[in-house]
Amino acid sequence: MALLKVKFNQKKRVKLAQGLWLMNWFSVFAGILVFSMGLFLKIELRKRSEVMDNSESHFVPNSLILMGILSCAFNGFAGKICYDSLDPAKFAKWKPLLKPYLALCCVFNMLIFFVALICFLMRGSLDSTLAQGLKNGMKFYRDTDTPGRCFMKKTIDMLQIEFKCCGNNGYKDWFEIQWISNRYLDFSSKEVKDRIKSNVDGRYLVDGVPFSCCNPSSPRPCIQYQVTNNSAHYSYDYQTEELNLWRRGCREALLNYYSGMMSSMGAVILLVWLFEMSVMVGLRLLHTSLESIANPEDPECESEGWVLENSLKDTFKSALENLKKLGKFNQVEAGAEGAEGEEGGKTPAITTVS
């Protein structure tokens, strides 16, 4: 029994073709939207590529850009087929291409669904990328005189100001690295010497943070140095008082920003996928309804359209059998080639008569 079997007359076939033509052009605009989202996400990721450890995060925008281009191409082609289906003479040239085209549409829709899932599942990969990238970026914060790294201070400061964050996981991350360049340290000072000597790696570590960690909404002037020293500040207790520094780490801030963006894009891609699936089903119905016309010379006659010629279960069984036959055929061919190789390797015996 055919799946989604529908009876069509000439009027219904024309309406289906016109409706599909319109839906395909809507899908072209949807493809442009997907392409634009991928381009926007790529630009946003490139803005902060200095604090990302690798290029794996660009897989999602690159996939969206590719899906957008393919969507425009596939749906533009399908729109032309639907338009020509109103004229039997024009439609005849498309008939041999429809089955391969529908098979490609199935693969394309599976890819769209896969990209939508990736948009929701990229959070873990993005988390590790940001964690390592921010850690490296903070190490290079002080290298304002080093070629190739002199921009890192500005990048980190602008990032912390824009996203209202501090450090990788929090403001205490700055206590573990030397973020002040040696150029600005007075090595004749006893305090500087003592701090460097007290550190195994010879680094100048302080319980302070860059200015960009300060919260301008705080009524108290920013305490960015000697953060953990209560006696250094009047009426201050860093363990109980609300610090005038951003509490949230930049990894969490960026992760929430990008994953929220990708989740929204994933939802849009799922809607596009549902729309593409409905277009593909409609095109299959149009294809089968035109093929099943009993008398091609009489376009007014009724016909039947379906999505699958047999039930879903029978179609699945048939596909499995075809795969098994294909596997057996390959095995037979491989065996025949092996036998030919063995025969060719044998050297005929030569007898000599004295």
157: in domain: no
pLDDT in tens, 302-350: 777 677 665 556 655 665 666 666 666 556 555 556 555 555 555 554 4
The more confidently predicted of residues 3 and 214 is: 214
Q: What is the pLDDT of residues 156-189, one digit of tens each?
A: 999 999 999 999 999 999 999 999 988 888 888 8
* Burial call 59-73: b when 16+ CB within 10 Å, e when fewer: ebbebbbebbebbbe
Answer yes or no: are the C-beta atoms of 117 and 124 closer than 8 Å: no
Three-class DSSP category at 245? strand
- Tell me if 27 is assigned to some domain: yes
Structure tokens at 188: 């004749």
Residues 245/228, Cβ–Cβ less than 8 Å: no
pLDDT the model gives residue 346? 54
> Global pTM?
0.78
pLDDT at position 149 is 79
H/E stretch holding 304: strand 303-305
Let me know: does 293 contact 303? Beta carbons within 8 Å: yes
Position with higher pLDDT, 343 vs 134: 134
Q: What is the pLDDT of residue 350?
A: 45
Tokens, residue 129:
């990328």
| Residue of higher predicted confidence among 15 and 351 | 15
Which residues does 255 contact at the CB level (< 8 Å), separation at least 6? 123, 126, 127, 130
Mean pLDDT of 48-68: 85
Band (pLDDT 50/70/90 cuts) for residue 107 is very high
Q: Which helix (H) or strand (E) holds 125?
A: helix 123-139
Rounded CA-CA distance 116/295 in Å is: 44
- Give the tokens for residue 332: 């037979």
Query: Rounded to an integer, what distance in angstroms lies between the CA atom of residue 323 and that of residue 100?
Result: 18
Q: Is residue 79 part of a domain?
A: yes
Domain membership of residue 214 (yes or no) is: no
**pLDDT of res. 352:** 47
Average pLDDT over residues 88-102: 78
289 domain residue, yes or no: yes
Taking a C-beta distance cutoff of 8 angstroms, is the pair 95, 291 a contact? yes
Task: Report the percentage of the chain scoring pLDDT > 90.
Answer: 35
Section 43-60 average pLDDT: 83
Choice among 13-17, 22-26, 31-35, 139-143 with the minimum mean pLDDT = 13-17
**For residue 10, is pLDDT > 90?**
no
Q: What number is the average pLDDT over the span 29-54?
A: 91
Kindly state the average pLDDT of the residues 91-111.
85
Supply the range of the domain harboring residue 260.
1-135+254-294
The sign of the torsion formed by the CA atoms of 35, 59, 120, 54 equals negative
Domain count, the chain: 1
| Residue 209 CB burial class (10 angstroms; 0-12, 13-18, ≥19) | buried
H or E stretch at 7? strand 6-8
Over residues 17-38, mean pLDDT: 92
34 pLDDT higher than 90 = yes
Q: Are 49 and 130 in contact (CB under 8 A)?
A: no
Q: Between 21 and 296, where is the model more confident?
A: 21
Does the residue 202 lie in any domain? no
Residue 265: pLDDT over 90: yes
Segment 250-264 shows an average pLDDT of 94
Residue 112 lies in a domain: yes
Q: Is the residue at 345 inside a domain?
A: no
d(CA 80, CA 101): 13
229 pLDDT above the threshold of 70? yes
Look at residue 86 in the predicted model and tell me its pLDDT: 75
How much is the pLDDT for 315?
56
> Does the pLDDT value for residue 354 go beyond 50?
no
